[in-house]
Amino acid sequence: MSEKYIISTDSGTQSTRVMIFDTHGKKIVSAKASHSPLISPDFNWFEHPKGELWAKMVEAFHACLKEFKGDVKDIVAIGLGTQRACNIYLDKEGNEIYNTISWMDQRWWGNVPKIGELPPDAKNPYHYFYPYYSLVNFMKFYVPELYEKIDKVLNVSAFCCWKMTGKFCETYGNNLRYPWDLEHFKPYDTDAEITAMGMKPSQLPEPVMPGTKVGGLSAAAAKELGLPEGLPVVLTAGDKQNEMVGAGAINEGNAYMTLGTLCGYDVVSKKWAPSLENHFMTYGAGNPGFFNYEASIQMGMSLVTWFKDQFYYGFKEEAAKQGVSIESIMDKEAEHIPAGCDGLFVMPDWIPDSTRPASKGMFLGYDSRHGRGHMFRALVEGIVQQLKLGFDIMDKEVQVPVSSLYIGGGGSKADFIAQIVADVFNLPVQRLNESENCSLGAAMLAAVGVGVYPDVPVAVKAMIGTSDPFTPNAANNKVYKELRDDVMLKIYPAMEPVLKRLAEICPPAAK
């Protein structure tokens, strides 16, 4: 009997990845299609060019299949996974009527003056998501001529599902910006929640559980992608939820940190417990019936990309000469620097946090000891420290004891970053053998969806391997805790009036 394979997709912010795994979790081949830079029509607005995400999906499929040496007839499923919380608007003819609005986009703040400020004593778990966080409401309030043309409101995975199968479906594991009753995994019993977000029931895709086979490739999609017609398409979950599955973090008390464009810290629970203060988001987990509580930083390791572009822009030739990546050169400059970076500290608020709307990114504490490596390490430490603060708040609200911590994403490949995570969280950290665990998780859910494995726990046992853990250093943990308690938590309250005045003196330039 010939080996069987699964294709998985990960359409992210900066690129689309398509990979082929065997049913034992071994990566056979992978390909990436880089996206063009996000468009920013106004301050803190972020968009993908109209039509690009599907075009890059097709490009990545072609590149992957070109390298695949097996028989496409042995591919048993496509596990469809993508980034979360974007909005794609289609008209009645199926045309995209606007650019894809990215999850990073902050224009929803404009809804607040239209809807009215939330009362300070309100306790509503959806006070941003429902209806303030709705990008459809923004279109309704500010772009009514386009709003009237909207026939479908789709996330990226729902859009790709439609392009592949002709069906409008979305997974409860990619729920953000959709008005669904996630507590009970069903649509709401009334339309009030839908209309409050500016939508009509007819504009929404049909919700399904993660790992659901929604149909087969249409003839047109099969021709476009270079695959057999009818190949099963399985909706998986949002990218971070797929990472959780790919890390094996699927049970109560499992925790996972993703060190990608978005840096997030997720804890798994069977309990529905959304944050009443918007300190973290609650998602449907990739393992059906569970939830993921997630504290995140919107610009996580993308700040490392920004730093590389600004401070290592001349290293391309040197890296090529050494036969290494620029990132490995950066790692060598930072790995020997002690915890706390000799007093250099970073607040990683390049995009304001919703609980600190006046915040800005800050480097604090420069002196003559500090060089470029200190700046890089301080940036990483600031990101991980911010995640720890989010976890501490989450832990206080939901009280799910953490029994294990896994890490993945591009940033996890550096040993010194994995050690920082262990030291800040004071937990043994396990790094996955397969760093592309988002794609692996999508492949695992697809394997369940087409019956290769009966459920997610069995797929985890069959398809995942981990490396030796990184053990926390007690002395470093003490340094990080003191910095968090005595420096980081005091910066914003002290700086808020100054930052507000700075924004008045130097307001964002209109575009």
Q: What is the Rg, in whole angstroms, of the alpha carbon atoms belonging to the chain?
A: 22
CB neighbours of 250 closer than 8 A, spacing ≥ 6? 244, 268, 285, 286, 287, 290, 456, 457, 460
- Mutual angle of helices 437-449 and 456-463, in 10-degree steps: 130
Average pLDDT over residues 452-478: 92
Confidence of residue 494 (pLDDT cuts 50, 70, 90): very high
Three-class SS state of 14: coil
pLDDT of 126 reads 54
Which pLDDT score is estimated for 439? Answer: 94
Q: How many angstroms separate the CA atoms of 189 and 183, rounded? A: 13
Percent of the chain scored above 70 by pLDDT?
96
> Do 349 and 488 form a contact (C-beta atoms < 8 A)?
no
What is the pLDDT, as a whole number, of residue 265?
86
The sign of the CA dihedral 97, 98, 103, 106 is: negative
Note the pLDDT tens digit of each residue in 65-121: 999 999 999 999 999 999 999 999 999 999 999 999 999 999 998 998 998 876 655
| pLDDT at residue number 314 | 85
Amino acid at 70: G
The predicted structure's pLDDT at residue 119: 61
Specify the residue for token string 């206080």: 396
Return the pLDDT at 121. Answer: 57
Mean pLDDT of 45-58: 97
Q: Which of 330, 325, 324, 280 is nearest to 303 (CA)?
A: 330
Cα 461 to Cα 444: distance, rounded to the nearest angstrom? 10
Alpha-carbon gap, residue 101 to 39, rounded angstroms: 9
- With 90 as the cut, is the pLDDT of residue 431 above it? no
Residue-level pLDDT at 218: 98
Contact 30, 64 (CB under 8 A): yes
Higher per-residue confidence, 450 vs 2? 450
Which has more confidence, 396 or 329?
Answer: 329
At 139 the pLDDT is 97
Q: Cα(404)–Cα(429) distance, rounded to whole angstroms?
A: 8
Confidence at residue 510, expressed as pLDDT on a 0 to 100 scale: 57
Sign of the dihedral through C-alpha 400, 401, 405, 406: negative
> For position 69, what pLDDT does the model report?
95
Residue 367 has pLDDT above 70, yes or no: yes
pLDDT, one tens digit per residue, over 290-343 is 999 988 777 788 888 899 999 998 898 888 889 999 999 999 999 999 999 999
Query: What rounded mean pLDDT belongs to the chain?
Result: 91
Which is it for strands 345-347 and 362-364: parallel, antiparallel or unpaired? Answer: antiparallel
- CA dihedral defined by 160, 165, 168, 174, rounded to 10 degrees? -50
Look at residue 340 in the predicted model and tell me its pLDDT.
97
**What is the average per-residue pLDDT within 195-218?**
96
CA distance 374 to 487: 18
Confidence band, pLDDT 50/70/90 cuts, at residue 22: very high
Q: Torsion-angle region of residue 354: left (phi > 0), alpha (psi -120 to 50) or beta? A: alpha
> Listing from the earlier edge strand, what are the strands of the sheet with 404-408?
281-284, 291-297, 263-269, 254-259, 404-408, 429-431
Q: CA–CA distance from 164 to each of 14, 196, 224, 388 (Å)?
A: 22, 31, 9, 39
Share of the chain above pLDDT 90, in %: 70
Q: How many residues are given for the chain?
A: 511
Q: Is the pLDDT of residue 225 over 90?
A: yes
Q: Are 342 and 484 in contact (CB under 8 A)?
A: no
Cα–Cα distance, 121 to 510 (Å, whole number): 34
Q: For residue range 129-167, what is the model confidence (pLDDT) as tens digits?
A: 678 889 999 999 999 999 999 999 999 999 999 999 999
Residue 350 has pLDDT above 90, yes or no: no
Who wins on pLDDT, 262 or 365? 365
Question: Would you place residue 177 in the very low, low, confident or very high pLDDT band (cuts 50, 70, 90)?
Answer: confident
Q: How far apart (Å, rounded) are the C-alpha atoms in residues 447 and 456? A: 9
Extract the tokens encoding 5: 């394979």
List all residues 6 or more positions away from 57 whose beta carbon is below 8 Å from its beta carbon.
9, 11, 16, 18, 33, 160, 163
Give the pLDDT confidence score for residue 316 in this predicted structure.
86
The answer, yes or no, to whether residue 27 has pLDDT greater than 80, is yes
Given this model, what pLDDT does residue 282 score? 87
